[in-house]
Amino acid sequence: MEKLISRFFEIPSAHKLSVYLEQGGFEAAKRALKNMKPEEIESEVKRSNLRGLGGAGFPCGMKWSFVPRNTGKPIYLVVNADEGEPGTFKDKYIMTYVPHLLLEGMILASYAVGIHKAFIYIRGEYEEPCVRLQAAVNEAYEKGYLGKNIFGTSFNLDVVVHRGAGAYICGEETGLLESLEGRKGYPRLKPPFPAVVGLFGCPTVINNVETLSYLPFIVNRSADWFAGLGTERNGGMRLFSVSGHVEKPGIYERPLGYPLRNLIEDAGGIRLRRGDPSGRPYKLKAVVPGGLSAAVLRADEIDVKMDFDSLKTIGSMGGSGGVIVMDETVSMVGALQITMQFFAHESCGQCSPCREGTGWIYRILNRVVSGKGRPGDIQNLLDIGAYLGGTTICALADGAQMTFLSYLKKFRSEFEEFIGGNVIPKGTYANA
């Protein structure tokens, strides 16, 4: 199977401009700036069926088309590199191993929309990716690939790398904008949407690292080719971050619509029991298909295509592409306890249903895991969870609700065992 982005991960020193150029780097950007009109690029991206690969899966070209072009205000590009979704690490790989691919995608997006100033908002904990990315920006300026008169044309683009401070909520696009403007990362009420009123009150395009990194392939090899790699409404490939109980965790680049079962088998299957002479593998118990905010799937639900529409149909989501595999040793109660600890900690506190609800759920789960569960706890948890979604400014509470209710409903018997006194040791893994 052909690799697109991930082939660069195997090339030594691909993060350096000289090596990237040897691999055909910046050819798409040169061709676009010299031979294509901006509207032609936007049209190609629409036809490619490229979806936003950061979480929401919104069509990329359509998102660009919402930006007003003649307001008299500057238009900004903001790259969401605040990869904070647990189980997700594909953007980290791009920025570490092939940052110039991202920069080339940014040039294409900026040219298409009429942007001359771009910001990369990168997760604060990403030390090495940030260093690599800034070095790539410096190289691009020195070569004349950023700044004024790029590739000898009249197009100008300046790029600023901005480090976040470690807040998960700043992965939400309007919380990111607030942080980038120097304020606390509280998500904004919408409308107005960032495409119209975004950074500094100006029209703004916000795209994910991986989304932008596929643009050079679309320009080089055509929208029809890219669209044909995926499904009818989900074009191209995507990087899946596979972790958990698999023999070979890592990044797997596969077409959208690739079967989840096959993806797990690609990663070597469930890990083998340690110390068992027979080598009997542990049985699969559950899979999170799209980062921690996605509804968990039981072992009998993994015959599903890994695209946004198919996963939505079965009540989960493609999300950030973080695939977390859990075998039969996992306590789902312990796993949910850790999951809700994360959401309670990362809630910005702006909306009371999220602030109080996630914390309340976490405190109840803590009590249940410690052996102090009460007969009404499960119904109480279901009632609290029912009021999380659709009641807040951003989607953190919606994600928490989706994952929380899926664990509780699909593995209810385990919660009943805890409350009934059959307490498994605290933690995600039991008997591991």
The CATH number of the domain holding residue 375 is: 1.20.1440.230
Task: Point out which residues pair with 256 in neighbouring strands.
Answer: none
User: Among 327, 353, 380, which residue terminates a domain?
Assistant: 327
Q: Is 430 a domain residue?
A: no
**Domain tally, the chain:** 3
361 closest CA partner among 393, 326, 391, 386: 386
324 closest CA partner among 340, 311, 313, 335: 335
53 closest CA partner among 227, 203, 175, 235: 235
Q: Are 116 and 23 found together in one domain?
A: yes
Identity of residue 420: G
Task: Chunk the chain into consecutive blocks of 10 residues (it has 432) and report each block's average pLDDT, rounded to whole numbers.
Answer: 95 98 98 97 97 92 95 97 96 98 98 98 96 98 97 97 95 97 96 96 98 98 96 95 95 97 92 64 92 96 96 96 94 95 97 96 93 90 92 95 96 90 48 34
Tell me the three-class secondary structure of the chain, residue by residue: CCCCCHHHHHCCCCCCHHHHHHCCCCHHHHHHHHHCCHHHHHHHHHHHCCECCCCCCCEHHHHHHCCCCCCCCCCEEEEEECCCCCCCCHHHHHHHHCHHHHHHHHHHHHHHHCCCEEEEEECCCCHHHHHHHHHHHHHHHHHCCCECCHHHCCCCEEEEEEECCCCHHHHCHHHHHHHHCCCCCCCCCCCCCCCCCCHHHCCEEEEEHHHHHCHHHHHHHCHHHHHHHCCCCCCCEEEEEEEECECCCEEEEEECCCEHHHHHHHCCCECECCCCCCCCECCEEEEECCCCCCCCEEHHHCCCECCHHHHHHCCCCCCCCEEEEEECCECHHHHHHHHHHHHHHHCCCCCHHHHHHHHHHHHHHHHHHCCCCCCCHHHHHHHHHHCCCCCCCCCHHHHHHHHHHHHHHHCHHHHHHHHCCCCCCCCCECCC
Task: Sort strands 237-244 and 250-255 into parallel, antiparallel or unpaired.
Answer: antiparallel
Tokens (6 digits) for 84: 């904070």
Given a contact cutoff of 8 angstroms between Cβ atoms, the answer to whether 88 and 241 are in contact is yes
Residue 247, domain CATH: 3.10.20.600
In angstroms, the Cα distances linking 202 to 75, 117, 173, 336 are 6, 12, 14, 40
pLDDT of residue 125: 94
pLDDT of residue 430: 38
Q: Are 203 and 95 found together in one domain?
A: yes
Q: Are 293 and 344 found together in one domain?
A: no
399 closest CA partner among 354, 429, 338: 354
User: Rounded CA gap, 207 and 91, in Å?
Assistant: 12
Q: Are 21 and 136 found together in one domain?
A: yes
Q: Are 278 and 193 found together in one domain?
A: no
Q: How far is CA 220 from the centre of its chain?
A: 25
pLDDT of residue 271: 80
Q: Are 90 and 105 found together in one domain?
A: yes
Q: Are 318 and 352 found together in one domain?
A: no
pLDDT of residue 423: 54
Q: Are 108 and 178 found together in one domain?
A: yes
User: Rounded CA gap, 351 and 391, in Å?
Assistant: 8
Tokens (6 digits) for 94: 């791009």
Q: Are 169 and 291 found together in one domain?
A: no
Q: Is 425 a domain residue?
A: no
pTM for this predicted structure: 0.94
Domain of residue 142: give its range: 6-229
Q: Is 426 a domain residue?
A: no
Q: Is 432 exposed, middle or buried (0-12, 13-18, 19+ CB in 10 A)?
A: middle
Q: Are 159 and 179 found together in one domain?
A: yes
